[in-house]
Amino acid sequence: MNMTEKQLSQIRAQIKRVKDFGNPFYTKRFKDVNPEDIKTQQDFENLVPFVTKQELRDAYPLGLATVPEEEIVRIHSSSGTTGAPVVIPYTKKDVEDWAIMFARCYELAGITSKDRIHITPGYGLWTAGIGFQAGCERLGAMAVPLGPGNTEKQLQMMQDLKTTVLCATSSYALLLAEEIEKRGLKDKICLKKGIIGSERWGEKMRNRIKDILGIELYDIYGLTECYGPGIGINCKGEDSINIFDDYVYTEILDPQTGKPVPEGEIGEITLTTLVKEGAPLFRFRTHDLAAFVPGTSKGYSYPRITQILGRSDDMVKVKGNIIFPSTIEDVIQAVPGTSSEYRAVIEHADGKDKMTLFVEVEGGTDRTEAALSVAYTFKQKYNMTPEVKVVGIGELPRSEKKTKRIEDRRFD
């Protein structure tokens, strides 16, 4: 994506500001960088260093703050499941900017102040729930802030309050859809749209949720380190995600070399915030994989990326083959009778790696034939044959948050 003169100017101003503030984290990073030397996109790519999640973790608890403490109105945090959490401070303007972007997401999805928005993502330190709510209130719609869990209450409120928009992870959207189908509630709910985020989801899962609920689905994008969900979304009838380039500059880079990939080629999303005050980001390596999509959506000028295709850190290598969740989704998409849900378990036994793939199939499907078809298709597409075990719809566990679909037990 070509950088504009305005974006260059904003980045120069951000670097100067954080150096002048004297924050040790950024002072060290930019000690050899003179912001006035960044005159072109090439200068930016050559002079501004990348930042990784581990480096953000190392700044725990408030080492990323670039404003006086009295200007920090809120913090959010990543989960910290693999180490110290990343704590992100927000100023009043950061919170407002995030709400503006989130309201814009709703508008791009055709949601108006007349809608009633059913919010199931978590509240608290996690950025999701409060982001969905702030955008809803900015838009002027009615927020129904349930948070995750308590499926009985979720279904009751959907019926009683006639909510029209469901906000959820794809895993919880599927769980709710299956419960609605199981209980025969489809005619008693008023959902028209779903705003889905937080995890990658394949075409089978997307179609299953859409078919059960009869709603339009939208992919919302974002992450805790960069405001939260709401920095981009797709438009009606389009798969590609609009990224709000008045707040965020996006690069898509080769994960190995760190160099830009050609338009249309898959790479790692790398983000720089343009106006964020509390904890600006400079070339943050997200690990999310996507590609730039040529052109813009009708009526908008935002750059576009594909749906998130996976994460570079979700990759596992089995018998010399690189496996992503999208690899497995590609296989089950090609086999009739399979559902969206699967689990892959990778183990090392008797001196060799082994992958067992559990796949759900619809009722009436010949299970032996389905298992053989999945194994054969896997071999044809990826030159590897997993052991395939077929189960019925709903037999694999469902999640109210994110679902871990590949479990690597080789290093336990």
- Rounded Cα distance, 209 and 212, in Å: 5
pLDDT cut 70: percent of the chain above it: 97
φ, ψ of residue 231 to 5 degrees: the values are -85, 0
Of the chain, the percentage scoring pLDDT greater than 90 comes to 72
Statement: the pTM of the whole predicted model exceeds 0.85: no
Q: Over the stretch 338-355, which tens digit does the pLDDT of each residue have? A: 988 899 999 988 888 889
Q: Nearest-CA neighbor of 87 among 69, 126, 60, 52?
A: 60
Q: Closest Cα partner for 220 from 108, 302, 300, 99?
A: 108
Mean pLDDT, rounded, for 306-327: 80
Per-residue model confidence as pLDDT tens digits over 192-242: 999 998 776 778 888 899 999 999 999 999 999 999 999 999 999 999 999
DSSP state of 123: -
Structure tokens at 342: 């699967």
